[in-house]
């Protein structure tokens, strides 16, 4: 009887569980049995592994073979267990030393010719292995850079099963010929899910193709919405842009992700892990360093927004926009069920998806931008534009954005049509993204310094209790907000969000704490009622 074991990782959402792959050989009729709650793609690994082992020059054991995946109670899916199964079988057959693979985590899919193909989710899998105390991992050569992002882990990238056998047996490592030039690399096909290419709303439209990045200087006029965009980026506040078609709502939203500061190392690892599991991590870019941007179509279902699917839930748009921007264009056209599902992640920064196959917790701390027309035809707020929508239709259209959802939106700005002078450039170009982003970075640095020693980094994350008891504003600054609260114009949550925006406005003008004018700016941004204060974030 021969026995050997190797290790791999089963992904549940964006979290990994280390799985021990055990291979047992016994005398009897040659058969291959795989147990341990595998899915269809994992059951098919029996044929892939057998062909890969034979085509790699090793002998397939003609005995009764049982491969167990432990713990057996954890659902296992995908083809990333192939490499560990093949190694455990070869260890049980004594082709390689079982002691060499007992504490090695192996992740990768095997082709029938023995080549090792990359799989999705390598980064979260290696992170789980490191947390479990493992120090050595074997991954496909194409994803070795992604695995190397985890500190304290020794990474071996292999191109084929032959190379792995040679390394484990201390034999000369064979050279694997590269694919022919001038055609797409078929080995990278496993990293991308079909349908996640261009056109799926995973990057601003102007940033695709020629590499040109959207710039705020391209936006004609729109001084007030531009300043609201700056406040949203500096404090991480959610934003509603309402106005007629063609006013520039989408242009403004597409430029918000470039204004956000670069991701920290920890944030980059979080975002990269989600994108790796979702299959949208670009090949050759193992680490996401910029704030992501996700703009799903208004026909998106609730599962595509918050996560779900058959079996183990997969990340949705709110998780793909983690640490970045989630833009919902034509927000009233989304289903009410899908929009209301955003309430929990907007408050908690994560989403919990419960399915029969298990409960998954996915990260979802994003900056939401809603764009909405005033009515179905879009001309309701334009003087002399000929809007023919009855008042009841206008009310029903605007009511599609529920009160509880809008109560979680800090900034509500009306985007007015652009006049001829601004459109022809007679009013001069506005500030560029680089200039605005510099002010945003300075404001975030002040907030981070003030919040040092706490679990929060931006003003939008600070609980209301802390704002009212520890982070106090100037005396008398809340008089106007308290009046609005008594009149029913603000809820208790709304008052807390006004305080958060006021702190962001104060940070943008380098003030120690908000005064009455900062609170007035925050109230005007939330309610849309003019307060008689200038909107310039860096000046009075």
Q: What is the pLDDT of residue 49?
A: 96
Q: Is the pLDDT of residue 539 over 50?
A: no
Strand ranges (E), 281-400: 293-294, 325-328, 350-355, 358-363, 367-372
Q: How far is CA 491 from CA 5, 446, 498, 514, 532, in A?
A: 59, 28, 10, 20, 23
CA 264/CA 448 separation, integer angstroms: 13
- Structure confidence at residue 269 (pLDDT): 93
What is the predicted pLDDT for the residue at 184?
54
Question: Could you report the per-residue pLDDT of 410-427, keeping only the tens digit for each?
Answer: 999 998 888 777 777 655
Indicate the range of 165-169, 445-449, 467-471 predicted with least confidence: 467-471
- Whose CA is closest to 339, among 370, 373, 385? 370
Lowest-confidence pick of 240-244, 266-270, 476-480: 476-480
CB atoms within 10 A of CB 449: 9
Residue 431: pLDDT over 90: no
> Are residues 272 and 288 in contact, defined by beta-carbon separation less than 8 angstroms?
yes
C-beta separation of 382 from 397 below 8 A: no
Asked if the model's pLDDT at residue 108 lies above 60, the reply is yes
pLDDT of residue 6: 96
**Residue 439 CB coordination number (10 Å):** 20
Q: Rounded mean pLDDT of 511-534?
A: 84
292: nearest Cα among 309, 267, 265, 315:
267
Question: How would you classify the pairing of strands 15-26 and 64-70?
Answer: antiparallel
pLDDT (0 to 100) of residue 426: 58
Confidence grade of residue 223 (pLDDT, cut at 50, 70, 90)? confident
CA-based torsion, 261, 267, 268, 274: positive or negative: negative
Q: Are 5 and 102 in contact (CB under 8 A)?
A: yes
The residues, any chain, with a CB within 8 Å of residue 25's CB and separated by 6 or more, are 1, 2, 3, 61, 63, 64, 65, 92, 93
- Which pLDDT does position 540 carry in this prediction? 39
Q: Calculate the alpha carbon distances from 71 to 35, 74, 75, 125, 134 in Å.
A: 11, 6, 9, 16, 17
Answer yes or no: are the C-beta atoms of 78 and 72 closer than 8 Å: no
Residue ranges in 349-432 assigned as alpha helix (H): 391-398, 403-406, 420-423
pLDDT of residue 125: 95
CA distances from 124 to 85, 176, 267 (A): 20, 28, 13
Alpha-carbon gap, residue 299 to 333, rounded angstroms: 8
Average pLDDT over residues 382-387: 72
Top-ranked range on mean pLDDT: pick from 99-108, 168-177, 383-392 = 99-108
- Can you give the pLDDT at residue 18? 96
| pLDDT for residue 203 | 57
**106-115, 305-314, 353-362, 476-485, range with greatest mean pLDDT:** 106-115
**400-416 burial, b for 16+ CB within 10 Å, e for fewer?**
ebeeebebebbbbbbbb
Rounded CA-CA distance 379/305 in Å is: 29
Maximal C-alpha separation, the chain: 89
Strands (E), 210-314: 239-242, 293-294
Per-residue pLDDT band for 187 (boundaries 50, 70, 90) equals low
At 377, the pLDDT band (50, 70, 90 cuts) reads confident
To the nearest whole number, what is the mean pLDDT of the chain? 87
CA dist., res. 16 & res. 123, Å (int): 10
Confidence of residue 177 (pLDDT cuts 50, 70, 90): confident
Confidence grade of residue 428 (pLDDT, cut at 50, 70, 90): low
CA distance to 251, 418, 525, per residue, from 219 (Å):
7, 10, 20
Give the burial string for 450-466 (b: 16+ CB within 10 Å, else e): bbeeeeebbbbbbeeee
User: What does DSSP say about strands 350-355 and 358-363: parallel, antiparallel, or unpaired?
Assistant: antiparallel
């Amino acid at each position: 009887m021969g026995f050997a074991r190797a290790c791999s990782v089963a992904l549940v959402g964006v979290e990994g569980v280390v799985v021990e792959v055990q291979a047992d050989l016994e005398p009897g009729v040659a058969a291959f049995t795989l147990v341990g709650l595998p899915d269809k793609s994992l059951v098919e690994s029996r044929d892939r592994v057998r062909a890969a082992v034979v085509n790699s020059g090793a002998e397939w054991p003609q005995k009764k073979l049982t491969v167990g995946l432990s713990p057996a109670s954890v659902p296992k899916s995908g083809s990333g267990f192939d490499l560990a199964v093949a190694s455990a079988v070869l260890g049980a057959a004594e082709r390689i030393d079982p002691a060499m693979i007992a504490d090695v985590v192996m992740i990768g899919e095997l082709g029938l010719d023995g080549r090792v193909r990359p799989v999705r989710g390598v980064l979260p899998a290696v992170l789980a292995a490191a947390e479990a105390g493992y120090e050595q991992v074997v991954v496909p050569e194409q994803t070795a850079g992604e695995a190397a992002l985890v500190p304290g882990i020794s990474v071996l990238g292999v191109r084929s099963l032959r190379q792995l056998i040679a390394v484990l047996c201390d034999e000369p490592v064979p050279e694997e010929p590269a694919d022919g030039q001038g055609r797409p690399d078929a080995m990278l096909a496993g990293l991308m899910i079909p349908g996640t290419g261009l056109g799926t709303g995973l990057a601003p439209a102007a940033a695709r193709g020629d590499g040109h990045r959207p710039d705020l200087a391209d936006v004609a006029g729109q001084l007030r919405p531009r300043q609201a965009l700056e406040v949203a980026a500096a404090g991480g506040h959610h934003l509603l842009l309402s106005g007629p078609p063609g006013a520039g709502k989408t242009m403004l939203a597409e430029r918000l992700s470039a204004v956000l500061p670069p991701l920290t190392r920890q944030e980059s690892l979080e975002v990269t892990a989600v994108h790796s599991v979702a299959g949208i991590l670009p090949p050759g870019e193992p680490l996401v360093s910029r704030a992501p941007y996700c703009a799903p179509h208004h026909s998106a279902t609730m599962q595509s927004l918050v996560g779900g699917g058959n079996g183990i839930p997969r990340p949705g748009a709110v998780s793909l926009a983690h640490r970045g921007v989630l833009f919902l264009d034509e927000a009233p056209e989304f289903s009410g069920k899908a929009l209301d599902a955003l309430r929990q992640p907007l408050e908690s920064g994560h989403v919990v998806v419960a399915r029969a196959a298990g409960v998954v917790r996915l990260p979802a701390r994003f900056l939401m931008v809603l764009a909405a027309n005033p009515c179905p035809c879009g001309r309701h707020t334009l003087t002399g534009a000929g809007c023919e929508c009855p008042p009841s239709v206008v009310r029903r259209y605007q009511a599609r954005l529920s009160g509880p959802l809008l109560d979680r939106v800090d900034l509500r700005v009306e985007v007015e049509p652009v006049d001829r002078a601004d459109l022809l450039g007679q009013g001069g170009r506005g500030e560029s993204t680089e200039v605005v982003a510099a002010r945003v970075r300075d404001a975030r640095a002040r907030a981070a310094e003030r919040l040092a020693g706490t679990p929060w980094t931006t003003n939008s994350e600070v609980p209301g209790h802390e704002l009212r008891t520890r982070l106090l504003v100037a005396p008398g600054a809340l008089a106007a907000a308290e009046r609005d609260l008594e009149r029913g114009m603000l809820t208790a949550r709304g008052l807390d969000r006004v305080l958060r925006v006021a702190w962001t406005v104060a940070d943008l003008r380098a003030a120690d704490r908000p005064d009455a004018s900062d609170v007035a700016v925050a109230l005007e941004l939330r309610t849309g009622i003019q307060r008689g204060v200038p909107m310039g974030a860096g000046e009075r």
